Chains A and B, each alone.
Chain A
Amino acid sequence: MTDTKTWARVKSPWVLHFNSGACNGCDIEIVALLTPKYDVERFGVKLEPSPRHADVLLVTGCVTQQCAERLKRVYDQMPQPKFVVAIGACACSGGVFEGNYNVLGGVDKVIPVTAYIPGCPPRPEAILDGVVKLLNALNPPKPKKEPKQAKQPELPKEEAKPEVAKPEAAITQTAQQVVEEVKPIVKQ
């Protein structure tokens, strides 16, 4: 039963995108993720309009003083279990806006963050990698399968070297033979 629940949650993460004061760079990368080129719908990721429907909150940009209260409210409206992904350097720590008079800092100053994806802006692949790592964290490792994976077949490293060296030896031998064959002709 728990397995089915986890499977369903991993296969269908619905995301809500919230801009808490970003320059739109990270937002464009998220849009690139949702549109045909990267098409995250194949992993079951859907952009939802309402925080009530979402599982994952994607926050971009540093949190401004004005936005902090709204961000908290959006987070509170989401149903459990919920995850927050901070996308971009600004969302992770405040970035270049750290210490500005109207900026509070990173997202983790306001709400708990599950995954940080740094970059200015992070590439869509990086965002996807972050989301996959977050979802894999939901799947606890199964103890029964670990011993089987531990037995790694040994690579035949020593045997590989002579195989590479053989052709060279063959070439040098033939070259010596050629030289020996040529010598008598030169003498004549």
Chain B
Amino acid sequence: MIDFTLIFRILVFPGFTFILLFTLFCDWVERKIEARIQNRVGPMVAGPGGILQPLADFIKLLTKEDIEPRDAKKTIFKFAPLLAFTIMVFAFCFIPVDGTSVFSTTGFSGDLIIILAFATVANFLLFLAGWASCNPYGTIGSARVLTQFLGYDIPLFLIALTPAFIAGSLQIATIASDQAGKFLPFILMAPWAFVLFVITMQAELEKDPFDVPHSESELVGGLETEFTGAKLAFLHLTRDVQVVFGSALVVELFLGGPYGPVIFGPSWIWYTLWFVLKVLAVVLISEYITTVVARFRIDQVLSGNWRILLPAALLSLMLTVALVTWVYPLLV
């Protein structure tokens, strides 16, 4: 017996097609916000308001010649970008978009750890892609990716534990639904963790002020210097899916997930609407930070991580544990 609902969910609605289109849409929103802050108009010609610009870029890259450098490690060079994209989309599938995740379930206990691990693996594949291209700039860029994400993964995991402690669960769907039912959204209950999480996410996604791995003025194109055609298209797409995934994670952990008021009709339409609006709000915050701040040096990024962010994450965790044990039971 083939379950057609499941196939539809995986391929079309909260699954692949939805993720792809939503990613391209978020890319357009980012470029528009950046352009408006810089007193420009941004993409305008491709489609109404330039909304098809990311799609045009993607199709153009797919149809370009695919060059493989002679010294590149062929197998890794070919498959790492595609695999990184696949893993990011798979990680996205565990996020409840319309109340349930893609697999029509509310996930399982511990899927928060799984998707954070998937994000790490995708980052590692990006590092491998740059390393296999055997280009000096690509190699330096990927070494920086590795240095940065090894450092910032630890605070990210520690801060992601804050909502898990308050909800008493490591299941994303439970954490999200607890904010709608049992508690307030965790942005109000633990605002310090929200600020820290957004900063760490900025570093994890390699956006300003932490974009040292692909700083154009020093490293040409960073790890993607040597990539052309379809491989470059998938590298760009992976980066965009990572941005949407990070924003979705912030929404699930701190902004109450897809849950919101259902005014009329079926609930999944409203849940999708709230999810999309909340993700766009997080994208706006993230892109605002990216546009207004300048880039750190690599040594400042690392010392900022080990000296400031890691102790802050530990303090935040201790504070959360204390509040969960003694203070929140009095309020609820």
A-side interface residues toward B, CB under 8 Å? 4-5, 7-9, 11-12, 36, 39, 41-44, 48-50, 52-53, 55, 77, 79-81
Identify the 6 closest CB pairs spanning chains A and B, nearest first: A42-B44, A8-B59, A79-B65, A11-B56, A80-B65, A11-B46
Query: Please, which residues of chain B bring their CB within 8 A of the CB of A50?
Result: 220-221, 224-226
Contact with A along B33-56 (1 / 0, CB 8 A): 001001111111110001011011
A43–B42 Cα distance when bound, in Å, is 8
In angstroms, Cα B42 to Cα A39, docked, is 8
Contacting pair B228 A9 (CB below 8 A): no
- How far, in angstroms, from A49 to B35 measured CA to CA in the complex? 19
Partner of B63, one of A5, A43, A48, A52: A5
Given contacts A12-B56, A12-B60, contact A53 B221 (CB under 8 A): yes
Contact between A79 and B46, CB atoms less than 8 A apart: no
A36 contacts B40, C-beta separation under 8 Å = yes
B46 contacts A80, CB within 8 Å?
no
- Known contacts A39-B41, A41-B42, A44-B57; A53/B228 CB under 8 A: yes
Given contacts A42-B50, A53-B232, contact A8 B221 (CB under 8 A): no
- Find B53's partner among A9, A44, A81 (CB 8 Å cutoff): A44
Selected contact of A52 from candidates B31, B46, B56, B225, CB within 8 Å: B225
Q: A42-B40, A79-B64, A79-B229 are in contact. List 4 more A-B contacts (CB 8 A).
A: A5-B59, A5-B63, A9-B63, A36-B40
Cβ of A12: which chain B residues have Cβ within 8 Å of it? 46, 53, 56-57, 60
Residues of A contacting B270 in the complex (Cβ-Cβ under 8 angstroms): none
B interface vs A, CB < 8 Å? Answer: 31, 35, 38-46, 50, 52-53, 55-60, 63-67, 216, 220-221, 224-229, 232
- Of A4, A44, A48, A77, which is within 8 A of B45 by CB? A44
Q: Which of chain B's residues has its CB closest to A50's CB?
A: B221
Which residues of chain A are near B55, meaning CB under 8 Å? Answer: 8
Instruction: State in angstroms the CA–CA spacing of A81 and B53 once bound together.
Output: 19
A52 touches B40 (CB 8 A): no
B53 A11 Cβ-Cβ under 8 A: yes
Chain A residue with the shortest CB-CB distance to B219: A49
Of chain A, the residue at the smallest CB distance from B41 is A42
What is the CA–CA distance of A105 and B41 in the complex, to the nearest angstrom?
A: 38
Q: What are the residues of chain B within 8 A of A5 when measuring CB–CB?
A: 59, 63
Residues of chain A within 8 A (CB-CB) of B56 are: 7-8, 11-12, 44
A8 near B63: Cβ-Cβ < 8 Å: yes
Q: Decide if B45 touches A79 in the complex (CB within 8 Å).
A: no
Residues of B within 8 A of A80 (CB): 64-65
* Cα A77 to Cα B53 with chains together (Å): 25
Question: 24 A-B Cβ contacts within 8 A?
Answer: A7-B56, A8-B56, A8-B58, A8-B63, A9-B63, A11-B46, A11-B52, A11-B53, A12-B57, A39-B42, A41-B31, A41-B43, A42-B45, A43-B44, A49-B216, A49-B220, A49-B225, A50-B224, A52-B227, A53-B224, A53-B227, A53-B232, A79-B66, A81-B64
B63 touches A39 (CB 8 A): no
A76 closest partner in B (C-beta): B67
Nearest to B53 among chain A residues (CB) is A44
Whether the pair B42, A42 counts as a contact (CB closer than 8 A) is: yes
Report the nearest B residue to A79, measured CB to CB: B65
B232 touches A52 (CB 8 A): yes
Query: Please, which residues of chain B bring their CB within 8 A of the CB of A36?
Result: 38-40
Q: How far is the CB of B14 from chain A (nearest CB, A)?
A: 27
Closest chain B residue to A10 by CB distance?
B56
Chain B nearest CB from A134 CB (Å) reads 15
Return the contact of B226 from the options A39, A42, A52, A81 (Cβ within 8 A): A52
Smallest CB separation, B213 vs chain A (Å): 14
Rounded to whole angstroms, the CA-CA distance of A79 and B63 in the bound complex is 10
A53 to B45 CA separation, bound complex (whole angstroms): 21
**Given A49-B220, A52-B226, A53-B228, A41 and B63 touching (CB < 8 A)?**
no
List the A residue with the shortest CB-CB distance to B58: A8
